Structure 1
Amino acid sequence: MKLLTYGCMLALVCGVTVSCTPGEQGEQTRGDELGERSFEEPVEHNLDELTSRIAGLDQQIRSMIGMAYADNLEQCRLAEIGHRPCGGPQYYMAYSTTALDEEALLELIAEHRALQTRFQQENDIVGTCEVLPRPQLTLQGGRCVASPTAER
């Protein structure tokens, strides 16, 4: 009996709360008067768009770098890609200057980093603040490779 009474009171309170919310029966909320975005409008749309752009840029960077074929080590470079919340790159990737437009690649990397930084700041993203050691560039089988350095 106590449970039934509690349930009825809860339903009554919820019913009153719902019927008292602003915006019903022709009332305007303060945000509507100012032409601001309604509380119910999904912010996720912008979030999804931003994460999709970041993922797309990441894929473009990886595709542009490809297999990173080179004739010698002087043609190899190391790209710092992405941004960690505490600073530094998300990861490193070796690329070759022989078969790609390096300026275009660096522009993609800069845009990717800027968007990722923005995403992290706008969403209060935190990280583990670990430092990724900078890999060493090597030439293996005619390809530029980012090899891990020895741990100290």
Structure 2
Amino acid sequence: MKTSICMIASLLSALLLTGCDTKNETNTEDATNKVSVSQPVLAKPTGLDNKIDKDSTIPAETVTLPPKNVTKEQVAQLKQQVLNLTEVTAAQDVSSCAVIALGHKSCGGPKEYIAYSKEQTNETALKQAVSAYYQADMQYQLENKMMSTCEVTPEQFPILLEGQCGLTPDPAATY
């Protein structure tokens, strides 16, 4: 009896494992014989040629990750370029102030938000610099297997205080 139960358990295990095969079997016919062809169900990503959709806080177009071996210093330099582009925040009106998401958290979402003045900032150059920083930051985190606390960075909104653009969290938001 015990032997029969063991044999049945072994047979069921083998059948279950067969169901976990990662390949689909398809039959195709050539002129005379049926030939079994194995096709993978999912292709494994191959390097950095894959496109990755950006986070919703980043423009919707897709990006290609930068080359491997991104250093912490390179990421810091790219962030500094963004900060240099946004260091002058003077504006005449709050409608001239804007906010952009900056960085990448490994769980998703931006690391932070920064305010800038549309009057003082070349927005095209800023968006390119933010995109380059985002890509390098993401690649650095992937290469170094970095994790995040997965805290949600509250969305920020522009304010004008004493002629300077700044940030304020949404007072109506609940966290």
Report the TM-score range of the alignment, normalised by the length of the smaller protein: 0.5 to 0.7
Please give the per-residue CA displacement for 1:5-40, whole angstroms capped at 9, x wherever unaligned: xxxxxxxxxxxxxxxxxxxxxxxxxxxxxxxxxxxx
What value does the CA root-mean-square deviation take over the aligned residues?
Answer: 1.5
**Aligned AA for 1:137?**
P
Aligned residue for 2:91? Answer: 70
**Aligned AA for 2:106?**
P
Identity of aligned residues (%): 29
1:51 partnered with 2:69: no
Higher relative contact order (CA 8 A, sep 6+): 1
1:111 partnered with 2:132: yes
Q: Please list every run of 5 or more consecutive structure 1 residues that lacks an aligned counterpart in the other structure.
A: 1-45
State the distance in 1 between where 2:95 and 2:170 align: 19
**Aligned AA for 2:79?**
D
Structure 1 residue 67 displacement after superposition: 3.2
Q: Please list every run of 5 or more consecutive structure 2 residues that lacks an aligned counterpart in the other structure.
A: 1-67
**Aligned AA for 1:126?**
M
- Structure number with the higher helix fraction is 1
- Structure number with the higher strand fraction is 2
1:135 partnered with 2:135: no
1:148 partnered with 2:169: yes
TM-score by length of 1: 0.65
Are 2:98 and 2:115, in contact at CA under 8 Å, matched by a contact in 1? yes
Aligned residue for 1:95? Answer: 116
Question: Post-superposition, which runs of at least 4 consecutive aligned residues in structure 1 deviate over 3 A?
Answer: none
State the distance in 1 between where 2:107 and 2:128 align: 22
TM-score by length of 2: 0.57
